[in-house]
Structures are given as structure tokens and as C-alpha cells.
Structure 1
């Protein structure tokens, strides 16, 4: 669900169609440009803003199949029990053209009629959030295997996947990527983190038993108090013949004084012990929920719907002075605003009692009665997180792979409805409960996010406005500080900037005597550059880049400015794409690297960025290795007589169908087979 502003623009003058000219691709550091597009006439624009709140709705029949063909008039929306009219409605297919349009981060809105044209396939974002605070070693191993199978067998070319943990142990690798090699490295680095709270008492008290004690359960309190009394109070000495303690036969024992601890004191100590355990475990659990909320709010930058698998062995929601209830509402609100649906998975699979060992010293069965409901209580957070965001809790099943496929299929189809919060009480205040039903179809199951924090609506509207403004053409005459800020913002953004077309490729070869050398190639489209008022003035492009290792630390960086001279429109063929290419080379040690690059039109202010991963193998291990695959090499001008020709390989790897495609690759550490034949 997103609180947003619907913007409609009405042009009072017809917009001129800009004829885009083509230019030749450039060589390393060489400037080549596109033809000059005609300047657009000024337009008078009237903007109408309408605040809407939207939510994604999934509707299933009794067989669990998505219900097609529903219309706007069939949906009834209630906010805090009050019926509100549906102001916007559409049917969405995940990965389709209409999905990302309404969620360009948090502040865009989809058109009433989704684009049915040949739009490019949109990215499907899937995140695996591993609650490593509450995962056993066995569970972590099963999760690692199952997620690895998804990456190798089910991850498609349009999938962007993230693996994150509650403790953040993966660090820089916790980011969305379509590179399977990065995900393999992340999975290999997952380590078991034991977070077990145990006190020093001889008879252990589990977290669930501590919660029961804190809630006043008499069986739990009396049993632990009795065990404490047995440990601290000495057994009564049998009364013998003769005077007590060797004194006079007429001497009397001390009246009414008890040696040791009273039951009231024991119960008080048991309660204090339980509160200490709850405090420690609650801190761990709140840390998990805080990390999940941070992931959701960060994912708001990415367009379209996001699917998060919350994987845990379960924990307990004790809302007595711990704030779990408020934290769950904040998580739900964060998920709604980012377009996230959560499917939670119990990594334990089929389980029974969660801690049967805690029932020792329980001869009368009091702790057995206390432990009834322990398993279901540990699954309450999984149910709450999934149910409150429109997802589903996948519990008590060992079929991890089947659960993943089921969730991916269920979330691929949904309806989007939006309404205008006309009443003042809907624009402010606390958590707003949202209900959606299909009129006259009570047998259908409707799943959706269950509410939002209306008090945060104003802040979200400001974010929507800032995103819309950023997407608009940048005014000319920006100062140097603005240029630096634009480039830094683009290169650090999790989502690539698209105002200026930027493509990045990375390759490596092993140079004898030098070792591995990385080549980062940045291609910038030049058809939309600012060529001055007459369209014939030279343009300039500022390019910056950084190479980061797998810890997120800089290993190399580059910065340059390219001058671009406009060429006649007929200077190139229609098959060539207008643009310039800049190549940066740096020797690097073996390892995993991420290259980030950003470019800015110095005159127009448009900014674009791109990111690429590359893994450089360690050739000293004498293992068979292959260099990067270099495609579409062609000789470019600029070489002097007698010098070796310069070759530029393709950056965007887009070729006409009739192209004869050449490629080059280098094989390292090749050896003949034992029989003496070829490798």
C-alpha cells in the first residue's frame, strides 16, 4: 500500500516530435556524438494533484487459484470499518509493463490503462531474509542448500535476488543483484551465529517458560519456586531424644523463625529471573525485526512489487513492556509503502515440542502443562509478518522448494485498488485498518496488507514529490557543487539512474608480467545531450567510477570529461547506436569486485548510472580458468603508423540480426590430458 499523489498533466500546445539522429560508437577516450535533435517548443502545463492510498490485493478461490475477471465495482474497501469509494483500479501481472509504473519507489502512480505495448520485461525482485539470530546450525544448512538450488535452477534472467541476514553478517554482499556468482559467494559466507540465552541456575528456564512466569502462570511459578527452595533450604533435621542442640531439656526452639528462603522470596526471585531472560531475548528479537524493517524501507527505491521470504526457526512475541506490537505495525507500514509482500517459512520443517529437555526435574508434570502451546507461540511472529502484509506463513512442512515455487506463483497476479482519503481522520492519527472484500462472493479469500500508519502520509507525499521532481528535466546552469552532488548521488544509488543512458561492462585478462587487469567500459548515449540553443554546439559528459572489493572498500577509481561534437544525421547507419565509450584499466588482485559508474551531461544536467560485478580468479592455484568473453571487437581510428591497431569491444552487447559476431577469450592453466590428447 502506498500513499501517493496522482499527477495529471495537460499540454495546451502540441508537443513537437524530436527526430533522433544516430552517431558512430566511439573508441577509448574518443568523443563521438549524435546528430542534433530539434528543440521542443515551450509548453504550458497545468498539474492537478490528488492524494491516493493504494494497495495490492490477491483473490483466491477455494482451490487456491487466483480469480480472474474481477472489476472495480466488485471490490468493497473499508478503512477502519468505513466504506470508501475505489478511485483507481487495475489488474497487474508481476513483471509486466503495468507493475513498475505505479511503484517507481514510493511516489509514482500507474496509468489507468496499463501499457500493453512491447515494453521490456521488468525485473522481479526476490529477497531471502535469514533470521540467523533464531536459526539453528541444521536449519541454516538446509536454508543454504534450498536457496542455492533456487539460484542455480529457478532464477531467471529478469530476476534480481538479495540474500540478507538479521545480523548483517554478509555486509556489502547484501544487495539486489542478477549475478549468480555474487549470490554463490554470499551463500558460502553464511555462518552459524549461536544466540542462546541461558542463566547460571542448575535447572534451566526457557524463554517461553520465562514468558509464562512473567504472565503469572501458577504452574510455572510454583514449580521453579519449589526447585529453588529445594536448592537453597537445607532439609529438616530429624528430631532425636534429649535436649535440642545439646541444651537443657527444658529449652525451647526459636519461635517461628525459618532457616533459609521463604516461598514468597523464592517466587519473587523466579519472577526476576524470568524478567532478565525476557529482556535478553527480546533485545535479540527486536534486532531481527529492526533489520527486517530496514530492508523493507530500503527496497522502496526499487520499482514494482517485492517478495521477501522471512526464514526463521521462530521466536516469541511477548508484548509486555517490549514494544513488539508497535514494531510489527512499523514493519507492516514499511512493507506497504515499499510494495512488499512477506512469505514466512519455518526452517525447522516438521517439528513437535521445541525444548523437551526443559522438562527434567518435573516429576508432577507442571512444566509439561506450561509448555503446551510453545510451538505455536514460536510461530506467531511468522504468522503476523505474513498475514499483515498480504502473504502467507508456510509452516510445518519440509518441502522448502515447493514453498518457494508456491509463493512465487501466488504473488505473480494481483489487483491494485486505490482510494482517496477524504475524511480528516484518515489523513492523520495512528494505524488505519484496511479491509477489502468481493461483493457477493463470500467464498473467496482476499489477501492484502492490513493497514498503514496514516501519521506518516505527509512524509511519504513529500518523498513522492521529490522523486517526481528528480525525474523531470534538470534546469540548465547548475553549478559545480550541484554537478558533484548529482554524480555522487547517482553512483551511490541502489537503483540505476536512467535520465542519461549509461551502460557498463567489465572484463579481465591476465597480462604477462603484470597479472590480472580489469577493464571497465562506460558507454553513454549521446542522442539527448544538450548541444546548445542551435543544436550545433559541442557537449560535455562528466564520468566518474569506483571499483569496490567484496567488503565495499575502494580498490580503484576514475574520473574524466569527454567532449562530444554533434555530427550530421546521415553520418552513420540506422543500425548503429549513438554514444561514446570510455575505457578504464586497472591492475587488481584476484577477488570479487563491483564497478559503479555515473555520467552527467554538463549542459543539460541529465544523470545516468550503472553497476556491474566481476570475479577475477586466482590463477596461482593452477586451476583451469577462462578470461572474460569479449564480443564484437572492431578496429577504431587514432592509431599511428606502425602502432598496433586499437580494438573496441561491445559494451551493451546489442547487435543487428545480420551481424557476424566475433568473440575472443583466453584460457589459463590449460594442460593436456593424461593420454596426451588435446585438453
Structure 2
């Protein structure tokens, strides 16, 4: 996020970005748009007027934070294929952060027919609208898995999370099917042997159905609880964050009764969002549905709004049954949209409903993230632990203001890690990479049929950012290196922890400054999906460096096409033995780069595989070289080894990504293509 135009009186400082309410200042974010719904970026401090409980406040600090990256020219698209992994996908730092977006999918209130539209909308965002610097999570209320619900910049991981959005059977799940008439009403129903008994009076709708108020209330609690959990996790991330609730309604705000306190739930939710700097947007994927129009009097027989005059009415005392509403089912469902609007309004967000253009609706939500104002003020009534109403106005015509409308006036207590264990644990939990120390990873997977996969973790540490202590003719430092492997449910499946005490000679110290320090570790894992997180901590300064990497370990016994990681070797014209490039993948222009990968389970025709390969060299978002699609030679060995070599004499110095694409022409199209990417650096 790029702050600009800070304006503040002398001797006043902005509050900590992550702490929204200190003992002296309250911080809030404001989005201002013009009549064309475009962000207004040039307002000054005196253009704002802030009211707290109706009383004008003195704004002590203002700055505009622009998050929009430069737009590409019209018609230009990123040349990278979706399977090419760009450099730098091992994490994002605070300085690189642009937008933070959490999509919460309400499995319990989104109908099964609407799920394909949700997947299509999210896939369109990931493929076409996700920017460099976007930190994104896709979270489900009941059907998700821990690994797929983490904040990430990895588009491949997000695509997998989107593909997993499928129907989930749950006791509290909603249903658009009409309730079956299978429970007799013991009060209003005539006796079975009565001469007045009819088929319609023998049975009434089942009270304990998916549309019963208690069930709907529990569905809402699940959504609110999940959203609050996501909001809590966002407190550690600075700046303005967007939460997009994709739901078919929030019934908790439509239900009245002794077990419901709508206003309290709403205000607690809004206050939690305020303290985390989160804007809650709501999105109804049901779209614009046709309605039969307003019913005539002949179709709506006169009766009490409380019901009770119909012997088959099991909803007596609970208001109109709904289907008999004079507005009809479609228009009578306006309470759904009122609830969505209320949640968004309280937090300065946007509600999208009554539209079938879901991509445009999401664009409108995300456009509000292109820039915002951060305001800080000292409330005249002090922090009295009471609910305060907040109103922000702009002294410029034809503008609209989107901001939080309430907060609880209580200071936040910020707790900093006190021990090295707490610091490492906090870095491991954080969705943001720490780059006090520059850490470059290489996580390589070696597959072995019938055995666990071997995962080699290579780490290159930039020694120039370390604080060596010169002692005589040696340079000393101490590093704590911790690695954790999580499975797809978020459970710890192994790792390593080691303290490295460095005592380098002057020659080794100069070499470390020029080439970096390397560290390697290995572990074994079973077939599954994993995330590897590594944290490097300097003992003396407490500085941290971290990265995370997503791994997919295939089960070779299932017979599907599989591929190892890429392995690099440096070769020269003298014919010397190739040198493996592990953590340090730096080559000079007089060398060639050799790449190797193993391919498993290709389909056979007449006893031979029919694989094809393609080499792609990219830099940033540009493809510099796209090799021909050519057959893979085989000598009948298993696994099949694909090897190639590339000269670097005409390559300009810089960092590049090599991608190897393997296609099995005999396999099913959905599983016929695999790709592996790895970066390398060319120097003079």
C-alpha cells in the first residue's frame, strides 16, 4: 500500500497502523467517491468533518493511501500461462501489500444451484483481476480445509480452493425445496375419524425443517462466527481490508423472538470489524429472479396476520407464512436484502444484490479498495467504554462517503512477542512474509513409488542484512532456523528447528556477503497437500525472515500422471562435472543451465509413452522464450527422465523463471498437463 499526502499538525503522530484505538487516538478509514463512483484522491484535512456522537471532533491526522497499481494499456494481457509460477510466490511483505481480500462463502445459506456462479465469479477474479500485491483468502463456513483457507498470493492455491467449492450436506443447511407435509397439527387438526377430516387437515408443514427459525438462527450464527474469526485474523495485517460475505441471506437479522438480539449482534460484529480495519461487503449470488407480481385480492383471502384461522396453519403466532404474502415470494424476501445492506452500511462496505452480472458487482466492491483516507482523532468524550456513533462528512459537492458508523470506545491492548519462541510462532502464523532478513527458498520434491516423498528445503540467506559482530579476525552471529510442515487440515506434520552459530573468517565473511549463506534440511511426507513455512531469526537483533511454499505430493499408486520438482545444474564448456544448483541458483554467462525432472505414470500405447514437452523462460509477467512443443525421448526406464540444457551467453543479467511443461497425449485432458517452475539468476 502506498501512502501519500500525509497531513498532520505539529507534535502529533499517526497511531500504529495495526492498533485502531490507542489511549489517545482513534483511527478510522474512509473511502470517498465522486458521482461516477471513482475514488477522489485529492482531499485535504480541512475537507473532512468528523462527528462522534453528534459532536464535531478535531481531526489530528489524515493521509491518503493509494493501492491501485499502474494499469496496463488497453487490450494488453499478462503473457504468462496460468500454469507458470511467477518469481516471488513464496510470500508477500508489508511493503509489497496492496489489497487484502477475504471471500467468505456461506455454505449453509447459498443454494446448490448458485454455487457454479460463485465459482465462475471467483475464478474470473483470480485469472483476470487479481493484482500483484493482492493477499487473498477463500474461506467456507462449513466445507473448507485449513490449507486452502489461508491468505495467499498463490493463484494456483486459490484455484484449487475455488474448485473445492462444492455442495456439502449439513444438518443446518438451507433448502429451496418446499417443506414436506408430514406432521399432524395436534391442536388445529380434526380427528382422523371425524366426518369433517380432509386430506389437507390431516397434515401440516414440518416445524423442524431447514426453514425453521431455530435452524435459520443457527445457520446465521455459523456465518457470523466464521466472519468474526476471519476478522480477528486480519487484525495483524496493517491497512484497510475487505471481507466479502457471499451469502443467500443473513436470517439472524430477520428473526425476532426471545432468543434473538439483532441489534447487539450487529453492533458487536461492526465493532470487531472497526477494530481490525475491516470493511464488510455483502454479495447475494441468487441474482435477479422473476416474481409473479403483486397478488390480487381474490388470491389472498382475508385473515389475521397472526394466522390461526386456518386449521392447517402450523405457523400460528409466527407471522405470515410467506408464500401467501400479498407481495409474493420474490418481493416478500426483501428482508434478506435489508439484512445484507445493514451489515455493509455499518462497516462502510457495499451490498450487491438483485443483479445477474456478478463479475460487475464484484468489480464495484473491489473498486472501493483502490484508495482510502486514514483519519485519526481524539474523542472529546474520551474512551468511556461505550458505543459511539461515527459520522464523517466531506465539504465537497457530488461526493459519497463510505465509513464505519459506530465503534466501542475502548483502547486496544497490543501485545508484542517477548521471547524468541513467541516471535517465531507469530511469524509462522502471519500471512505476511517477514523480510528484515532476505530469505530465498527452494523446496524440491523427490518421488519414490511405494515410499514417502522426500522434501528437500534449501534456504539462501542474504548475509548483507545480518549484524555480524567482529571479534578479532572473525565475524560472529547466531541464527535460529525453524521449519514447519502443515497438512491440508492445518495440522503440524513435521519440521525442524536448529540454532546456527556462525564464526566466519575474513575470507568466508566476504564470500558470504557476495554469495549469501546456505542452509538445507529435509523431511519425508505421505501423499497429500502441504504447506512448508520457514522462519529465520537473528538472535542479537530479533530480525526475521520467512517464506511459505505450497506442495502437492501425488499418490503414485493411483496411476495418474505425476512429476517431480525441477532440478538445476551448472555446466561449462570445459566439460567439467555439472554442479547442482540448490539454494544458490546463480550462473554466469559463460555457463549453461541444465534442467532435469522425473515423470511418473505416463499412459502407454504399444508399450511406449507419448509425452511432449515445452520450455518457457519468463521474467516478471513477460514470456521471453517459448520453446517448441516437442516429443520427449525415452529409453524405456521408469520413471522417465526429461533433461534439457540452455546456453546463457546471450542472456542479459537478471532473474528469470524456467518452466517445464509436460503433456501426456494419451491421458485424459483434465489431467494430461503438468508444469514445474524454478527461478535462477544470471550474472556477468
Superposition TM-score tier, normalisation by shorter sequence = 0.5 to 0.7
Secondary structure of residue in 1 paired with 2:376:
strand
- Aligned 1:59-70 pairs, distance under 5 A: 59-70=32-43
Residue 639 of structure 1: aligned partner: none
Partner residue in 1 for 2:387: 431
Matched with 1:162 is 137
Q: Report the equivalent of 1:28.
A: none
Q: 8 Å contact 2:482–2:496 — kept in the other structure?
A: yes
Distance 1:279 1:362 in 2: 28
Aligned to 1:38: none
Greater share of residues in helix: 1
Counterpart selection for 2:593 from 662, 668, 678 = 662
SS in 2 for 1:597: strand
String of CA shifts for 1:152-207, please: whole Å, max 9, x gaps.
332233222101122263334211011223223322333324535799997699xx
Alpha-carbon distance in structure 1 between the residues aligned to 2:41 and 2:174: 49
Task: Determine helix, strand or coil for the equivalent of 1:560.
Answer: strand
Where in structure 1 are there 5+ consecutive unaligned residues?
11-48, 98-118, 206-223, 239-258, 260-268, 475-481, 636-642
Q: 1:608 to 1:314 in 2, by over 3 A?
A: same
Q: Does the aligned pair in 1 maintain the 2:63–2:374 contact within 8 Å?
A: yes
| Structure 1 CA distance for aligned equivalents of residues 587 and 29 of structure 2 | 40
Report the counterpart of residue 661 of structure 2 in structure 1.
Answer: none
Quick one: distance in 1 between partners of 2:590 and 2:238?
Answer: 34
CA distance in 1, matches of 2:594, 2:11: 48
The CA deviation at 1:80 is 0.9
Residue among 142, 145, 155 paired with 1:180: 155
Give 1:93 deviation, angstroms: 0.6
Query: Deviations along 1:341-363, whole A, 9 cap, x unmatched?
Result: 2221111001255999xx9x976
For residues 481-514 of structure 1, give each alpha carbon's deviation from its aligned partner in whole angstroms, at most 9, with x where no partner exists.
x444443443344444444444433222335886
SS in 2 for 1:301: coil
Maintained 8 Å contact 1:518/1:586: yes
Alpha-carbon distance in structure 2 between the residues aligned to 1:607 and 1:345:
38
**1:334 partnered with 2:282:** no
Contact 1:293/1:330, CA 8 A, preserved across alignment:
no
Name the residue aligned to 1:137. 112
Q: Does 1:312 align with 2:265?
A: no
Residue 408 of structure 1 corresponds to: 366
Contact 2:283 2:351 in 1 (8 A): yes
How many residue pairs match? The answer is 532
In structure 2, distance between residues paired with 1:514 and 1:200? 52
Distance 1:188 1:147 in 2: 10
What is the SS of the residue equivalent to 2:189? Answer: helix
Q: Which residue of 2 aligns with 1:393?
A: 351
Q: Which residue of 2 aligns with 1:649?
A: 582
> Going by fraction, where is strand more abundant, 1 or 2?
2
C-alpha contact 2:51 2:57 (8 A) present in aligned 1: yes
Provide closer, same or farther for how the CA distance between residues 158 and 196 of structure 1 changes in structure 2, counting only shifts above 3 A. closer
Provide TM-score, normalisation by structure 2: 0.67
Gap change, CA 1:672 and 1:203, over 3 Å in 2: closer
- 1:611 equivalenced with 2:611 (yes/no): no
Partners of 1:586 and 1:402 lie apart in 2 by: 46
Q: Which residue is equivalent to 2:76? A: none
Which residue of structure 2 lines up, in the alignment, with residue 278 of structure 1? 213
In the alignment, the residues of structure 1 paired with residue 138 and residue 562 of structure 2 have an alpha-carbon distance, to the nearest angstrom, of 27
CA shift at 1:632, angstroms?
7.7
Cα distance in 1 between the residues matched to 2:230 and 2:429 = 17
Structure-2 separation of matches of 1:305 and 1:499: 23
1:633–1:145 Cα change, 3 Å: farther
Q: Secondary structure at the match of 2:104?
A: strand
Paired position in structure 1 for 2:408: 453
Q: Supply the distance in 2 between the matched residues of 1:9 and 1:522 (Cα, whole angstroms).
A: 43
Give the 3-state SS of the residue equivalent to 2:265 in structure 1. helix
Q: 1:362 to 1:580 in 2, by over 3 A?
A: same
CA radius of gyration, larger in: 1
Tell me the distance in 2 between the aligned counterparts of 1:633 and 1:151. Answer: 36
| Aligned positions of 1:372-383 closer than 5 A | 374-383=332-341
How far has the Cα of 1:600 moved from its partner? 2.5
Cα deviation, residue 560, structure 1: 2.4
Please state how far the C-alpha of 1:530 moved relative to its aligned partner: 4.9
Q: Does 1:369 align with 2:304?
A: no
- Taking structure 1 as reference, are residues 75 and 674 closer, same or farther at Cα in structure 2, changes over 3 Å only? closer
Match of 2:65 in 1: 92
Q: How does 1:510-659 map to 2 (within 5 A)?
A: 510=447, 516-532=453-469, 536-566=474-504, 568=506, 572=510, 576=514, 579-630=516-567, 647-650=580-583
Please state whether the residue corresponding to 1:66 is helix, strand or coil: coil
Q: Distance in 1 between matches of 2:598 and 2:611?
A: 19
Q: Taking structure 1 as reference, are residues 674 and 327 closer, same or farther at Cα in structure 2, changes over 3 Å only?
A: closer
Which one has more relative contact order, counting CA pairs under 8 Å at least 6 apart?
1
CA contact (8 A) 2:475 2:502 kept: no
User: Which whole-Å deviations, capped at 9, do the CAs of 1:538-564 have from their partners, x for residues lacking one?
Assistant: 222221212222122333322223232
Q: Do 2:293 and 2:327's aligned partners in 1 also have CA atoms closer than 8 Å?
A: no
State whether residues 570 and 587 of structure 2, in contact with CA within 8 Å, keep that contact through their aligned partners in structure 1.
no
Kept in 1, the 8 Å contact 2:464–2:513? The answer is: no
CA contact (8 A) 1:634 1:649 kept: no
CA contact (8 A) 1:500 1:608 kept: yes
